[in-house]
């Protein structure tokens, strides 16, 4: 007797998602179960292609099914469907499922470097990713992506973002002449951020990563007010000053109702490429301690690495130029940790929505 679909589903209930703390059947991850004699196949639909537990979940699911009497083989197709963030009817970027801003208190802590490498790492894992350089004062995406001479085309009055290293990118730097300076006033910043969202053909994206200027000025404020952001990620170096200002920025975003998805430490550690020894670079507050103080998740640490800085200079991000390096691995780990936090938050929001059952109960 071949197994039944009910038996397959029951067997898979032992497999728990480590981040969402529920089993993969209740989470709706198990789809299209097909049973042919002794062969079982199904799709495992995760909430992010960058799921850190991807291989582990697949292995556990395989073992659970192979443990059923009468099953000889199992085939699992692992895919991902990123959840849609909360949108309003007049949303400026309705095709963007999750929109995450990369912020800092202090300038020069590595936001743009982190934003570019994270965006590419998410794309390398299979996501559809865009990068919006919202630093209107000092756009850096053209240089970091090696797109200083490129100009975007337009279609029906809308700007087509440039594409590089598997991501779509838009920056005011693509529109200005080299060396051209703009005297910015608050309302102009808001208008420009609006245009970079609404007048650009972003299309359908899983993640739009927004690189912000430092601090809590007009650009982050406008962005948070223009679109419902999934959340903001705070980058900090372990200098006490950077950490203190990061704390202030966090408070401000929370007041704007923008969840802080976590802290990324940059340039906290270094490792000698020759002998492998290393250590902490600064005596200040480590990112993990900062995250703890702020009561937000810690997403990981990006090491100080001259090759990362050199890659920025020539438009060749480290996750592309040296994918096997310690630094590239750190970026991929942080990207996975961020993707996991996004999934956790989307799941939490969904759990907060009243289900039909509770609505019915309430009306009784
Ligand atoms: N992990 C790293 N290792 C080595 N150099 C780095 C690293 N991260 C960033 N840098 C270098 O530090 C400098 C500042 O980085 P970046 O421009 O990304 O910071 P930022 O926070 O975006 O700055 P701003 O506040 O001006 O926007 C750059 O020269 C960059 O190449
Ligand atoms: Mg920057």
Is residue 210 included in any domain, yes or no?
A: yes
The pLDDT tens digits of the residues spanning 193-232 come to 899 999 999 999 999 999 998 887 788 888 888 888 999 9
Ligand 1 pocket, residue 310 CB under 6 Å: no
| Structure tokens that stand for 107 in this block | 């300038």
The pLDDT tens digits of the residues spanning 311-328 come to 999 999 999 999 999 999
Same-domain status, 219 and 338: yes
Mean per-residue pLDDT over the chain, rounded: 90
Could you tell me which residues are beta bridge partners of residue 69? none
Phi, psi of 357 (to 5 degrees): -60, -45
Q: Which is more confidently placed, 249 or 332?
A: 332
8 Å CB contact between 318 and 324: no
Ligand 1 atom having least distance to the Cα of 140? 17
Q: Is the pLDDT of residue 31 over 80?
A: yes
Q: Is the pLDDT of residue 355 over 50?
A: no
Ligand 1 atom having least distance to the Cα of 311? 31
Residue range 88-112: average pLDDT?
92
Ligand 1 pocket, residue 108 CB under 6 Å: yes
Same-domain status, 141 and 272: yes
Same-domain status, 111 and 227: yes
- Measured by CA distance, the residue closest to atom 25 of ligand 1 is 107
Q: Which of 2-11, 251-260, 293-302, 333-342 has the lowest mean pLDDT?
A: 251-260
**Cβ contacts of residue 28 below 8 Å, gap of 6+?**
45
Same-domain status, 323 and 216: yes
Residue range 245-259: average pLDDT?
84
Domain range spanning residue 341?
Answer: 96-349
8 Å CB contact between 249 and 104: yes
Same-domain status, 205 and 60: no
Same-domain status, 35 and 128: no
Residue range 19-47: average pLDDT?
96
Residue range 344-360: average pLDDT?
65
Is residue 341 included in any domain, yes or no?
A: yes
Same-domain status, 266 and 143: yes
Same-domain status, 210 and 289: yes
Same-domain status, 186 and 248: yes
Question: Ligand 2 is a single-atom ion; what residues have CB below 5 A from it?
Answer: 111-112, 140
Same-domain status, 58 and 102: no
Q: Which of 309, 313, 322 to mutate to test the pocket of ligand 1 (most atoms within 8 A of CB)?
A: 309
Q: Is the pLDDT of residue 356 over 50?
A: no
Confidence of residue 285 (pLDDT cuts 50, 70, 90): confident
User: What pLDDT sits at residue 219?
Assistant: 82
Distances (CA, A) of 339 to 40, 49, 178, 184, 303: 30, 8, 35, 34, 20
Is residue 293 included in any domain, yes or no?
A: yes
Is residue 87 included in any domain, yes or no?
A: no
8 Å CB contact between 128 and 284: no
Q: Is the pLDDT of residue 179 over 80?
A: no
User: What pLDDT sits at residue 189?
Assistant: 84
Q: Tokens 């962005």, residue?
A: 223
Number of domains comprising the chain:
2
Q: Which helix (H) or strand (E) holds 328?
A: helix 326-352
Is residue 156 included in any domain, yes or no?
A: yes
Q: Which ligand is nearest to the CA of 111?
A: 1
- Where residue 318 sits, what CATH number does that domain have? 3.40.50.300
User: What pLDDT sits at residue 353?
Assistant: 62
Sign of the dihedral defined by the CA atoms of residues 111, 94, 320, 277, in that order: positive
Spacing, Cα 279 to ligand 1 middle (Å): 20
The pLDDT tens digits of the residues spanning 113-124 come to 999 999 999 999
Is residue 286 included in any domain, yes or no?
A: yes
Same-domain status, 205 and 61: no
Q: Which of 103-112, 144-153, 177-186, 188-197 has the lowest mean pLDDT?
A: 177-186
Q: Which is more confidently placed, 265 or 249?
A: 265
Domain boundary among 18, 52, 80: 80
Is residue 357 included in any domain, yes or no?
A: no
User: What pLDDT sits at residue 280?
Assistant: 87
The pLDDT tens digits of the residues spanning 181-195 come to 777 777 788 889 899
Which DSSP string corresponds to 3-29?
PPHHHHHHHHTT-B-TTT-SBTTTTT-
Domain boundary among 53, 80, 107: 80
User: What pLDDT sits at residue 334?
Assistant: 98
- What's the predicted TM-score (pTM) here? 0.92
- Where residue 22 sits, what CATH number does that domain have? 3.30.300.130
Q: Is the pLDDT of residue 362 over 70?
A: no
Is residue 364 included in any domain, yes or no?
A: no
Alpha-carbon distance of 242 to 247, in angstroms, equals 9
8 Å CB contact between 64 and 51: no
Ligand 1 pocket, residue 191 CB under 6 Å: no
Alpha-carbon distance of 320 to 316, in angstroms, equals 7
User: What pLDDT sits at residue 178?
Assistant: 74
Same-domain status, 202 and 340: yes
Ligand 1 atom having least distance to the Cα of 267? 1
Spacing, Cα 277 to ligand 1 middle (Å): 23
Question: Residue by residue, what is the 3-state secondary structure of 341-357?
Answer: HHHHHHHHHHHHCCCHH
| Structure tokens that stand for 181 in this block | 């300076």
């Amino acid at each position: 007797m071949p197994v039944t679909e009910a038996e397959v589903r029951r067997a898979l209930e032992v497999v728990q998602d480590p981040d969402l703390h529920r089993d993969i059947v209740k989470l709706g991850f198990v789809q299209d179960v097909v049973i042919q004699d002794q062969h079982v196949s199904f799709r495992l639909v995760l909430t992010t292609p960058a799921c850190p537990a991807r291989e582990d979940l697949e292995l556990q699911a395989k073992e659970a099914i192979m443990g059923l009497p009468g099953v000889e083989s199992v085939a699992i197709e692992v895919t991902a469907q990123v959840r849609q963030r909360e949108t309003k009817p007049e949303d400026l970027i309705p095709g963007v499922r999750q929109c995450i801003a990369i912020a800092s208190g202090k300038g020069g802590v590595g936001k743009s470097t982190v934003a570019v490498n994270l965006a590419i790492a998410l794309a390398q894992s299979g996501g559809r990713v865009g990068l919006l350089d919202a630093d209107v004062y000092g756009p850096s995406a053209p240089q970091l992506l090696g797109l200083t001479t490129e100009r975007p085309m337009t279609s029906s009055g809308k700007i087509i973002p440039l594409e590089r290293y598997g991501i779509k990118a838009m920056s005011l730097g693509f529109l200005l002449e080299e060396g051209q300076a703009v005297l910015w006033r608050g309302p102009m910043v808001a208008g420009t951020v609006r245009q970079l969202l609404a007048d650009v053909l972003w299309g359908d994206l899983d993640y739009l990563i927004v690189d912000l200027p430092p601090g809590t000025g007009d650009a982050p404020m406008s962005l948070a007010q223009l679109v419902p952001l999934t959340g903001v990620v705070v980058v900090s170096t372990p200098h006490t000053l950077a950490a203190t200002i990061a704390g202030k920025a966090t408070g401000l975003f929370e007041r704007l109702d923008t969840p802080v998805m976590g802290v990324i430490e940059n340039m906290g550690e270094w490792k000698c490429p020759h002998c492998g020894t290393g250590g902490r670079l600064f005596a200040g507050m480590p990112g993990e301690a900062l995250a703890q103080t702020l009561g937000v998740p810690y997403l990981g640490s990006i090491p100080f690495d001259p090759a990362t800085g050199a890659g920025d200079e020539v438009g060749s991000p480290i996750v592309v130029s040296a994918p096997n390096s310690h630094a590239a691995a750190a970026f991929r780990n942080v990207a996975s940790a961020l993707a996991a936090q996004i999934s956790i938050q989307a799941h939490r929001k969904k759990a907060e929505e009243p289900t039909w059952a509770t609505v019915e109960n309430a009306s009784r």
